[in-house]
Structure 1
Amino acid sequence: MGGSSHMIEESLKLAYGENSDFIKDKRIAAVQALSGTGACRLFADFQKRFLPDSQIYIPVPTWANHHNIWRDARVPQNTFRYYHAETKGLDFSSLMEDIKNAPNGSFFLLHACAHNPTGVDPSEEQWREISHLFKSKNHFPLFDMAYQGFASGDPERDAKAIRIFLDDGHLIGCAQSFAKNMGLYGQRAGCLSILCDNEMEAVAVKSQLQQLGRPMYSNPPVHGALIVSTILGDPELKKLWLQEVKGMADRIIGMRTTLRENLEKLGSPLSWEHITNQIGMFCYSGMSPEQVDRLTNEYHIYMTRNGRISMAGVTTGNVGYLANAIHEVTK
């Protein structure tokens, strides 16, 4: 029911660190999950069963499915401010205010890196301040880490937020997905882990996670797990994977630069600095739903109506056309 122990072991090394004492001390309860979505849902059901009066704080905005997951698990939801529309960056002061005002011991959903949909991440120093405030409020963070390696090209750097919280002595949850960084969308390969106080507690928590999974999907699929454990467990294959992940991330970072340069060359009066300030697979362009509709109807360019561009779809062949269309609808 818990899935591939080899895949779980390699996933934990990726999230918590190759030589993590938490792994050595067997303090982490972990099960293979149905990618990141399944990991979040399993945690939501765990939260509902064992803390039925609790709620979850979710950032505004967030990946739309987060709301569906906790809604269907019947966990009450609250929100905290995250994105500043005018600066197209992080609304740090409001975020800290909402964390401070939440009841002590609240659950928070945090994006570990490459925030979806905005591409806006806290700086390392800001993560340290967030961690410190969480500690004083005794909040519990669940990190959704769907893009490790995909944001900066370095999985270690992309796990920095988690490592900061671990160094500060937090107990955390982590929902990992290999859909993007290994191209395993169709295989539903993921891992849910919860750091516990001790080994005995970890055994109990894992047992309960397995019991939650049993009537939901019985046991997770093996094929994707074998791919993950084979690649991460072989030094040469892992080295090759790290090179390819960096190549993928660097291409997206490069396309961000090119898109911004094209818009600036067209003489756009708007600032497009946020395109290169943001990180990861998505760019929160700042375009209105009406402008997005014009892109679709007049230029056959498709994106979600909140203006989120999938940077993975931007290429050297279409970036000029995209920039020109964006320029036309934002004049």
Structure 2
Amino acid sequence: MHKLWSLLCRNVIYTYNKKNIQTFYSAAYNASPYRDLFSERKEPFGKMPKEGIQNIWENLPPATMESYLNTSWSCKKSEQTENKLDLATENILDEEGNPLVFQSVLKAREKISSQDIFSTDSCVLGDQEFLDDALKLAYGSEMYQRDHIAAIETVGGTGALRIAFEFISRCFISLDGQKPRVYVPNLCWPNYKEIIKSTGLKMRDYRSYRKNIQGIDLKSCLSDLFRATKGSVALLEASGQNPTGTDFSPEQWKEISQILKDRKYLCVVDMAYQGLVHGDLDRDALALRRLVEDGHQVIVCQSLSKSFSLQGNPIGTLSVLTSSKEEKEKVWTHIRSLSHSMLSSVPNYGRLIVKTILSNEALKKEWMEETQNLVKRMKATRQALHDQLVSLNKSNGVDWSFLLQQQGMFLFTGLEAEQVDKLQKEYNIYLQPDGRLNLGALTASQVERVGTAIHKMTLTNSTNSEQVSTE
């Protein structure tokens, strides 16, 4: 009788515990940031058939690719092979339409031995000489303090952003005791949101740009940042805003910095185009240095890929500003561990090119001159396209002056998605769906063609508006 009673009790306890364990894991699964991808389905898309292993992914729908990837892919797949013009890309091309390579980079390559390229010395713990040189570009030689900055190499700016937000998701709690919400610009690089989403962090836009005025909306920006929960995260672009090409002025940054300080934001600064906006390394880093000088908690995602024309060999850094050497060491262990689990190691080539240029005064001077020449070229292309549009649009009164207020690689045309689609179908010219055009991929010989096509899109839009108002 005693044995029977004992067996019955054990079965009851086992059943109870099993139910609780299932409930626990079910709750954990439902709380996963990836759960919403499949929330409307009762089973995964990929299902192993009872016989054989064919057709596992038969019912898997295509992913929604980031807009510029999807547009460039459509351009590549297009059967219209003649006169295709991909201005949705983020690559920089020369006047012949080939990837731009700086002469300083080619000279640096000659100084690098094959032994260095295949070396494993910096694979695990990193290359401190490279980090010092790269971060002095960002923070400035006087402001850079190695003992207070935890830093690692990354695969370009995207790699830095991915590790940064994973670090925030795992290690940072806002003042309300919850995971922080990330505030991103209302018009921004679409990949920001994909990166942040993958870490499980929630997002909200702050209104930094208004399309109807084709410019900065400072009042709304400050209002949105002020209303956020204290201790939130703000994603900020240092210069060369993507896609709008419209940066905050130094005076506006001063006001933004004050709001960010009052509301105790953790600032994540994306620095992707240093030297390619104004042709001045210090001027392009003004926003970051303002935040550091004002005493902000800062994480910097630095891309060197475009600045050094290393688009096929991306290289960057992730750095976290800390208050002490001890704090720096603890932060470093986390970001290094995350980097190792995601990337294992960063390829040598891009790192060695940048280090060779920055450690050689002659090469550094030549590189800076080449970035300035590229900026001059893009400014001349912007001016030529503006002038072409002005000369064509005298009849319909479109004001194109806002194009000259923009800076850097990107020209924000103001075209709607329907016009961009029509531009693609009728003229074989591919822009971003939001109307962004990459000046780095537009050559002088193509300006007239592109200007004429954009003019016809705005002309059609004006005609339609007049018809609607008449009706």
> The TM-score by the shorter chain falls in which range?
over 0.9
2:327 is the counterpart of 1:201: yes
Counterpart of 1:38 in structure 2 is 159
Counterpart of 1:264 in structure 2 is 390
Counterpart of 1:248 in structure 2 is 374
The whole-number CA distance in structure 1 between the counterparts of 2:135 and 2:440 is: 27
Shift of 1:171: 2.2
Shift of 1:188: 2.0
Q: Which amino acid aligns with 1:292?
A: V
Shift of 1:55: 2.0
Moved more, 312-321 or 155-164: 312-321
- The secondary structure found in structure 2 opposite 1:330 is helix
The whole-number CA distance in structure 1 between the counterparts of 2:453 and 2:311 is: 30
In structure 1, stretches of 5+ residues that fail to align are none
2:145 is the counterpart of 1:23: yes
1:45-64 correspondence runs (5 A): 45-51=166-172, 53-64=179-190
Counterpart of 2:406 in structure 1 is 278
Q: Which amino acid aligns with 1:303?
A: L
Q: Which amino acid aligns with 2:361?
A: P
Q: Which amino acid aligns with 1:312?
A: G
The whole-number CA distance in structure 2 between the counterparts of 1:222 and 1:325 is: 43
1:5-154 correspondence runs (5 A): 5-20=128-143, 22-23=144-145, 26-51=147-172, 53-154=179-280
The whole-number CA distance in structure 2 between the counterparts of 1:51 and 1:175 is: 17
Q: TM-score, normalised on structure 1? A: 0.97
Counterpart of 2:51 in structure 1 is none
The structure with the largest alpha-carbon Rg is: 2
Q: Which amino acid aligns with 1:293?
A: D
2:297 is the counterpart of 1:297: no
- The secondary structure found in structure 1 opposite 2:445 is coil
Tell whether the 8 Å contact from 1:148 to 1:181 is kept in structure 2 after alignment.
yes
Q: State the percentage of identical aligned residues.
A: 36
2:337 is the counterpart of 1:211: yes
Shift of 1:134: 0.9
The whole-number CA distance in structure 1 between the counterparts of 2:245 and 2:262 is: 28
Tell whether the 8 Å contact from 1:2 to 1:219 is kept in structure 2 after alignment.
no
The whole-number CA distance in structure 1 between the counterparts of 2:223 and 2:435 is: 27
Tell whether the 8 Å contact from 1:12 to 1:23 is kept in structure 2 after alignment.
no
Shift of 1:313: 2.0
Tell whether the 8 Å contact from 2:265 to 2:297 is kept in structure 1 after alignment.
no
2:131 is the counterpart of 1:3: no
The whole-number CA distance in structure 1 between the counterparts of 2:150 and 2:226 is: 29
Counterpart of 1:239 in structure 2 is 365
The whole-number CA distance in structure 2 between the counterparts of 1:313 and 1:12 is: 28
Tell whether the 8 Å contact from 1:2 to 1:32 is kept in structure 2 after alignment.
no
The whole-number CA distance in structure 2 between the counterparts of 1:139 and 1:312 is: 34
Q: TM-score, normalised on structure 2? A: 0.68
1:300-315 correspondence runs (5 A): 300-315=428-443
Counterpart of 2:295 in structure 1 is 169
Shift of 1:138: 1.0
- The secondary structure found in structure 2 opposite 1:79 is strand
Shift of 1:51: 2.1
- The list of structure 1 runs, each at least 4 consecutive aligned residues, that deviate by more than 6 angstroms after superposition, is none
1:230-278 alpha-carbon deviations (Å, 9 max, x no partner): 1111111111110000100111111111111111111342111111101
The whole-number CA distance in structure 1 between the counterparts of 2:246 and 2:185 is: 12
The whole-number CA distance in structure 2 between the counterparts of 1:217 and 1:297 is: 39
Tell whether the 8 Å contact from 1:35 to 1:191 is kept in structure 2 after alignment.
yes
Tell whether the 8 Å contact from 2:301 to 2:317 is kept in structure 1 after alignment.
yes
Shift of 1:19: 2.3
Shift of 1:70: 0.9
Q: Which amino acid aligns with 2:148?
A: R
The whole-number CA distance in structure 2 between the counterparts of 1:289 and 1:170 is: 38
Tell whether the 8 Å contact from 1:2 to 1:220 is kept in structure 2 after alignment.
no
1:116-166 alpha-carbon deviations (Å, 9 max, x no partner): 011111001000110111111111111101100111111110000011111
Q: Which amino acid aligns with 1:164?
A: R
Shift of 1:76: 1.5
2:299 is the counterpart of 1:178: no
The whole-number CA distance in structure 2 between the counterparts of 1:114 and 1:267 is: 27
Tell whether the 8 Å contact from 1:4 to 1:222 is kept in structure 2 after alignment.
no
Q: Which amino acid aligns with 2:351?
A: A
Shift of 1:322: 1.0
Q: Which amino acid aligns with 1:284?
A: F
Tell whether the 8 Å contact from 1:260 to 1:276 is kept in structure 2 after alignment.
yes
Moved more, 8-17 or 265-274: 265-274
Counterpart of 2:456 in structure 1 is 328
The whole-number CA distance in structure 1 between the counterparts of 2:239 and 2:417 is: 26
The whole-number CA distance in structure 1 between the counterparts of 2:364 and 2:414 is: 37
Q: Which amino acid aligns with 2:402?
A: H
Counterpart of 2:17 in structure 1 is none
